[in-house]
Amino acid sequence: MTAVRRAIGGDWAGLLAVLVLGGVAAAFLSPSFLTEFNIYVMLRSASVAVLVAFSQMIMLAVGQMNLSVGALGGLVAVLFGGMLERLGLPLIIAIPLALLVGVAGGLINGVLTSRTGVNGFIVTLATGSAFTGINLGLTESKPFHGVPREFVALGDSHWDFIPALLWPPLIVAPLLGVFLYHLKAGRWLLAVGGNPSAAQLSGVSADSMVILAHAISGGLSGLAAILAVAQLGAAQPETGAGWLLVSFAGPIIGGASLAGGSVSITGAFLAVLVIALIENVLVLANVDPYWVQFMLGALIMLTVGINRWRAIRAART
C-alpha cells in the first residue's frame, strides 16, 4: 500500500495531472493535436530534451551545476558528424567514441571543479566557452551532412506514434533510478549533494562524487547530441545552443532541490513532456513562438515560488 501511495503520491503526480488534462484540453481545442504524426513529432523533440534535463539533473543531485551541457553537446555533435563524414567511421565505432568525448568533457569539468574548489558555475562557463570555441574553430559554423542514411532513417522511424528516438531516454531513466537509489555510488552522490561535510565525515569522498556526476552529465549530453544528429539528419554546429534553459527547467519543475541531494527522475521526465506539450499547443494555436520562452521562464518562477511557499508552510506546522 505504502509503495503504491509513494509511487502515485510523489511530487510528480501534479505534473502527470497537468500533462493528462493539458492533453485532453489540447485534443478538444485542435483536431490536429491527437494525430499520430503530431504526437510523434512532439515526442521526438522531447526525447533529446529529456536527456538534456537528465544531464543537468545529475549535477543538481550532487549539489553543483553545469553550464556547459549545451556546449559539450554541440562539440560531441560535430565530432560525431566529422567521424562519420570525414573519417568514414562506421556507426558502431563512431557512437561509442562520441559518447566517450562527452564523458571526457565531463571529466575535465569534474576534475577542474573538485581540484580547484572553484565555483562549478564559473568553471563550466569557461569550459563551455572553450568547447564552443573548438566546435566553431573546427567547423567554421558549417554542418556535416554526410551522416549515413540508415542513421537518419532511424531518427525518422516510429512505431505508431512512438518515435524510435524515445527509446534511449526510456532506457536511461530506469538506469539512472537504479544507480541513484540502489547502488552505493549513487546514494553517496546524493549524500554529497545533500550535505557535503556530513558525507565527508562518514567517509565519502565529495571530490570523486563531483567528478563522477560530471562524467555522467557529460555522457548524457553526448547521448543527447547523438540523438539530435539523428533527429536533424545532420551534425549542426549550433546543436545545444538552446539547451541551457530546458536543462534547468526539466529537473527544477520536476521537483529537484536546488540545494542538492534530492531529484526526481520521473518528475524531470514528465516536466519535459509538459514543456513539449506547451510548445506543441502554442504552435498549433499559431501563437508567436516567442511565447514559449516567456512561458518557460514563468513556469520556473512559479515552481520555485510554490516550493518556497510549501517550505514556509511546512516550517510553520
Partner 1 sequence: MSLASEPAQRAWGRLRDAPQIGLAAAIAALFIIFTARQPAFASSFNLFAMGRSLAVDVVVGFSQMVVLATGGMNLSVGAIGVCCVMCSGWLMHSLGLPPPLAFLLALALGATLGGLNGVAIARTGVNSFVATLATANLFSGAMLILTRAVPINRLPPEVSAIGSYRMLGFVSPPLVVALLLGAALFVFFSYSVTGKEMLAAGANPRAAALSGISVDRSIIVSHLLSGLLAGLAGLMVVVRVGAAMPAVGGEDWLLPSFLGPVLGGTALAGGSVAVLGALLGATLVTIIRSGLLVLNIGNFWLQLFLGLFLLAAVLAQRYRGIARARLE
Binding residues vs partner 1 (CB under 8 A): 65, 112, 116-119, 121-123, 125-134, 136-137, 140-141, 244-245, 248, 252, 258, 288, 290-298, 300-301, 304-305, 308
Shortest reach from residue 129's CB to partner 1, in Å: 3
Residue number with CB closer to partner 1 (111 or 162) = 111
What is the smallest separation between the CB atom of 146 and partner 1, expressed in angstroms? 21
Residues 6+ apart with CB under 8 A from 234: 81, 143, 144, 145, 147
Shortest distance in whole angstroms from residue 93 CB to partner 1: 27
**Long-range contacts from 5-8, C-beta under 8 angstroms, 24+ separation:** none
CB of 61 to partner 1, least distance (A): 15
CB 190 within 8 A of CB 262: yes
CB 188 within 8 A of CB 213: no
Give whichever of 49 and 204 is closer to partner 1, judged by the CB atom. Answer: 49
- If we measure between CA atoms, which residue out of 193, 199, 232, 197 comes closest to residue 216? 193
Smaller CB separation from partner 1, 244 or 273: 244
Q: Per DSSP, which regions of 160-247 are E strands?
A: 162-163
Residue closer to partner 1, measured from CB, 128 or 169: 128
| Per-position DSSP letters for 256-302, written without gaps between them | --TTSS---HHHHHHHHHHHHHHHHHHHHTT--THHHHHHHHHHHHH
Strands (E) across 98-225 are located at 158-159, 162-163
Cβ atoms within 10 Å, residue 87 = 10
- Is the CB of residue 260 less than 8 Å from the CB of residue 84? no
Q: Which is nearer to partner 1, 186 or 196 (CB)?
A: 196
Question: Closer CB to partner 1, residue 43 or residue 274?
Answer: 274
CB of 297 to partner 1, least distance (A): 3
For residues 104 and 125, which CB has a smaller minimum distance to partner 1 in the complex? 125
Nearest to 151 by CA among 84, 98, 99, 87: 84
CB 193, min distance to partner 1, A: 14
Question: What are the start-end ranges of the H helices in 233-256?
Answer: 243-253
- Nearest-approach distance from CB 86 to partner 1, in angstroms: 17
